Amino acid sequence: MPDKPSLLIVNNFHADTIARLDARYETHHLWLLSEAEKRELIERLEGNCEAAATASWICDEIVYELGSLRVLSCFGVGVDGIDFERTGAAGIAVTNTPDVLNDAVADLAIALILATTRDIVNADRFVRAGEWRKGPFPFGAGLAGRTLGILGLGRIGNAIVRRAEPFGLRFAYHNRRRKEDVPFPYFESARELAGQSDILLNMLPGGPETFGLVDLEVLDALGPEGIFINVGRGSSVNESALVQALRHGLIAGAGLDVYANEPNVPAELLTMDNVVLMPHIGSATVETRAAMGNLVVENLDSWFSAHTLLTEVTGN
Ligand code: NAP
Ligand code: 8YV
């Protein structure tokens, strides 16, 4: 009998955290196995394993077949990779890693706002290509007095507001419900918010409720001078509508960190000069990823020592 509790690790979400889990638990690395081996492992763990760790944005369905599973500790805040119908039905508690990544993701959102409005990437290319000697670079758009519309004003959205205030931006937002403690104008729909925004920033979670919510109508409402930023989830944007809006000048530009089918980026976007493309690096700083890993470990430790959880989440 192993003297450490058994832990199923579903995917390779963060090497340093997995190494820490390997040292504390009797771990089983599901992602390294063939489908037949996975099934054999799940059968072998039945009754002997009550915890699993996974990325929050993707999870192997086979984990829900482990009847003794009681806790699923997720690395990441957006839990669109988790099937809450199945965890709820099976009595599996789920945890995620909120707040510890707010600063890093908000920093990247600001970077994308500045990169798009001041055309930073093309300006760099312009200097490197020796174009500066031939004439000045085209003017960009300032931020002071412009409106940043936030779709999904929550933990990260508020961290973005705190950073953006000193730039002189104004704010507006759309959530499912108006927030009593928020002083900014609230709009009942994404389209209405877009119509009042110079920069529309998507911070919405993924999942069926937000699927394709940013569509052609929303982008058209943003208008030909408008900038679209996406740091939330790619699934909440209709990417072919976005390509169409950028190609036909319905909006001026976009700054994207997330895509519907990562790591695949629509080919048309790769050819466009008015988009800045990031490879989903919102939370990708050494210290933030370590803090996310700490929460994954602490939730599991808390479960095994006291049957309590630090950051339980019941849906996306
Ligand atoms: P949060 O605090 O829950 O904020 C999300 C906000 O969206 C909430 O205030 C919620 O307000 C609103 N919302 C949810 N569903 C909605 C809907 N159907 N329509 C309109 N508004 C809706 O979450 P967070 O910690 O800020 O994270 C937000 C998302 O960012 C995550 O879910 C994840 O997908 C993404 N993310 C991306 C990165 C990256 O690297 N790019 C990193 C971390 C997180 P109401 O409940 O009032 O509607
Ligand atoms: C990912 C994220 O965890 O937390 C989220 O919801 O999207 C990110 O922090 C990260 O991109 C790992 O790849």
Q: What is the mean pLDDT of each run of 10 residues along the chain (316 residues)?
A: 88 98 98 98 98 98 98 98 98 98 99 98 98 98 98 98 98 98 98 98 98 98 98 98 98 98 98 98 98 98 98 95
Residue 2's pLDDT is 61
Cα-based torsion angle of the residue sequence 86, 91, 95, 96 in order, rounded to the nearest 10 degrees = 10
- Would the CB of 253 count as within 6 Å of ligand 2? no
Read off φ and ψ for residue 214, nearest 5 degrees.
Answer: -90, 100
Q: Let me know whether 241 and 299 are in one domain.
A: no
Q: Let me know whether 154 and 47 are in one domain.
A: no
Q: Whose CA is nearest to atom 12 of ligand 2?
A: 76
Q: Let me know whether 161 and 31 are in one domain.
A: no
Q: Let me know whether 108 and 66 are in one domain.
A: no
265: CA distance to ligand 2 center in Å?
17
Whole-angstrom CA distances from 306 to 91, 293, 301, 310 are 17, 20, 8, 11
Q: Let me know whether 119 and 188 are in one domain.
A: yes
Q: Let me know whether 57 and 10 are in one domain.
A: yes
| Catalytic-labelled residue, pool 280, 289, 298, 312 | 280
| Catalytic-labelled residue, pool 233, 247, 248, 298 | 233
Q: Let me know whether 184 and 113 are in one domain.
A: yes
The predicted model scores a pTM of 0.98
Residue 3's pLDDT is 84
Q: Which ligand is nearest to the CA of 178?
A: 1
For residue 44, what are the domain limits?
Answer: 6-100+287-313
262 is catalytic: yes
Q: Let me know whether 136 and 185 are in one domain.
A: yes
- Would the CB of 207 count as within 6 Å of ligand 2? no
Q: Let me know whether 115 and 248 are in one domain.
A: yes
Q: Is residue 1 part of a domain?
A: no
